[in-house]
Chain A
Amino acid sequence: SQQGEEDPQALSIQEGENATMNCSYKTSINNLQWYRQNSGRGLVHLILIRSNEREKHSGRLRVTLDTSKKSSSLLITASRAADTASYFCATDRAGYSTLTFGKGTMLLVSP
């Protein structure tokens, strides 16, 4: 089964609005990463947050991690049409050395 589960499965917003996606996982992790995928292409790494970090920023992206709730959120501020993509969280579980992906959130940003 998937380690990470994103919520919502799909999100539709207008340009300029903020988009928030959530990720929940089941077991202890070392790191949590967020990736973006445009229309069946390769994945692009967005941000990595370590288990001992609570919040991280990168440009218009803000990621939070709550290890007590085993959850993370990705906030994209001031969304643009170019942000339209699927967003995946990926975790590497403590004791394992492979990356496990969730099923992703499809984000549609309309002009």
Chain B
Amino acid sequence: KAGVTQTPRYLIKTRGQQVTLSCSPISGHRSVSWYQQTPGQGLQFLFEYFSETQRNKGNFPGRFSGRQFSNSRSEMNVSTLELGDSALYLCASSLVPTSGGAVDTQYFGPGTRLTVL
């Protein structure tokens, strides 16, 4: 079974631009989560989608947004890029969505490394 794929793998943008990152989950997985990883802040949760609905959102400004399509593929968008947005953006998929109880095992893609100049 193919793993989680993310495109593109590398991106270089300049401040003020916007960017769209794509994630295809493992076949059959319907929950997709996004994380930002930086040396200073570590791994931080951005948002989670299930059945085309955002179920959870982390503490990020509104410039960060996402969506999920009917085939479970997901995109995240960052508008008006800032230097601090330079990071590795990781997508993870799981079979079941998070509930008020436990988080299912998440399977991560290789990430998209975004550099903002």
Contacts and interface: CB of A to CB of B under 8 A. Distances in A.
Given A97-B98, A99-B33, A42 B108 contact: yes
B62 interface: no
A30 B103 contact: yes
A103 B88 contact: no
A90 B44 CA distance: 11
Given A42-B4, A42-B109, A99 B103 contact: yes
Interface string A21-37: 00000000011010100
Interface in A91-111: 92, 95, 97-104
Interface string B97-117: 111111101111111010000
B90 interface: yes
A95 B33 contact: no
Contact of A50 (B48, B90, B102, B109): B102
B42 interface: yes
A16 to B, nearest CB: 29
B46 to A, nearest CB: 10
B42 A97 contact: no
Given A30-B103, A31-B103, A99 B45 contact: yes
A45 B94 CA distance: 11
B63 interface: no
A98 B45 contact: yes
A18 interface: no
Contacts of B113: 40
Nearest to B58: A98
A31 B102 contact: yes
B43 interface: yes
12 contacts: A40-B88, A42-B4, A42-B111, A43-B108, A48-B105, A92-B102, A92-B103, A95-B100, A97-B56, A97-B99, A98-B48, A101-B43
Interface of A: 2, 30-31, 33, 35, 40-45, 48, 50, 88, 90, 92, 95, 97-104
Given A33-B103, A35-B108, A98-B58, 5 more contacts: A40-B111, A40-B113, A45-B107, A48-B105, A100-B45
